[in-house]
Structure 1
Amino acid sequence: MASSQAQRREAVQGIAMVRRSSESLPWALFGAGGFVVAFLFPVHIFLFAIAIPLGWVNDPGHHWMLELLHNPITRIYLFVFCALAFLHAAHRLRFTLVDMLRVKHLESGLGVLAYGAAIAGIIITIVVLVSVP
């Protein structure tokens, strides 16, 4: 009896009790990945696809780039950059396919495929970063 009175009181006061979403971690990774991709990916594209080939910035050379990869901070940066980008892409692809193709019944299967591909990309990133001499 007391709980129903409390529920009525909350409804009258306009307080809605909302269940917490179980997808807070994927949405947080989606947001972080979106930030990283939106702000840092264009810098990489500008440097390595435009500025260096056009000679606006001196070419650092293969040896210098390998030396840069020996720094653990560079490897951590590249891992975080790639991992967040893969997770962002997986989340965006999953929900875009579900919404655009209207295949709500396949949402869990698409999630497994999308996040599985993201995890595979992250594992490949780790292997590449560890195997660089």
Structure 2
Amino acid sequence: MTPSHTVDEAPLKRTHEPIVWSLFGAGGVLSAMFGPMLILVTTILVPLGILLPTGTLSYTRVLAFAQWWPGKIAILAVVALFLYHAMHRLCHSLHDLGFHTGTGAQIVCYGFATVMSGVCAVLLLTF
């Protein structure tokens, strides 16, 4: 018995979506799990002396962390993943609001995240 319809087997189109979705997912997990904790600890608990002593986040300690290689990698990861997550969400929100901008919005959004991540990397490497 032969099928009554035929299927055109076109070659698969290459896309950048897996890379973008992985950055969006990683940024989403990071912002959901660690974002509120980072805000709570660095803006409320430590300055009030509730969690750690008051001088724990002093300028010299934070500067030493930012000049340490693992600290630079952590700062870059947080900033870059938050940026990619936010820009991906913004790009898709534009589409949901009826602005069908196509690849122009993607280039602007992901380009902004890439440029700002690069600026963060350069600043971390120079200081």
Give the TM-score normalised by structure 1.
0.77
Alignment equivalent of 1:50, drawn from 38, 41, 44: 44
Confirm or deny that 1:69 pairs with 2:63. Answer: no
Distance change in 2, residues 1:9/1:77 (3 Å):
same
Q: For 1:71, give the aligned amino acid.
A: W
CA contact (8 A) 2:79 2:117 kept: yes
Which whole-Å deviations, capped at 9, do the CAs of 1:83-124 have from their partners, x for residues lacking one?
111111111000001111x122x1211111111211121022
- Of the three residues 103, 106, 123, the one matched with 1:108 is 103
Runs of 4+ with >6 A deviation? none
**How many matched pairs?**
119
- Identity over aligned residues, as a percent? 27
State the secondary structure of the residue aligned to 2:34: helix
Shift in alpha-carbon separation, 1:70–1:20, aligned structure 2, 3 A: same
Letter in 2 for 1:110: A
1:41 aligns with 2:67: no
**1:124 matches 2:124:** no
Structure of greater Rg: 1
Q: Which runs of 5+ in 1 are unaligned?
A: 11-18
Cα deviation digits, residues 31-68 of structure 1 (max 9, x gap): 11101111111121011111122221222221122222
Could you tell me which runs of 5 or more consecutive residues in structure 2 were left unpaired when the two chains were aligned: none
Superposed displacement of residue 81, structure 1: 1.2
SS across alignment from 2:27: helix
Aligned Cα RMSD in Å? 2.4
Give SS of 1:53's match: coil
Corresponding position: 1:98 with 2:92: no
Q: Is the 8 A contact 1:93 1:114 kept in 2?
A: yes
In structure 2, the CA distance between the partners of 1:127 and 1:8, relative to structure 1 (3 Å rule), is same
**1:83 counterpart residue number:** 80
Shift of 1:20: 7.0
CA apart distance, 1:8? 5.6
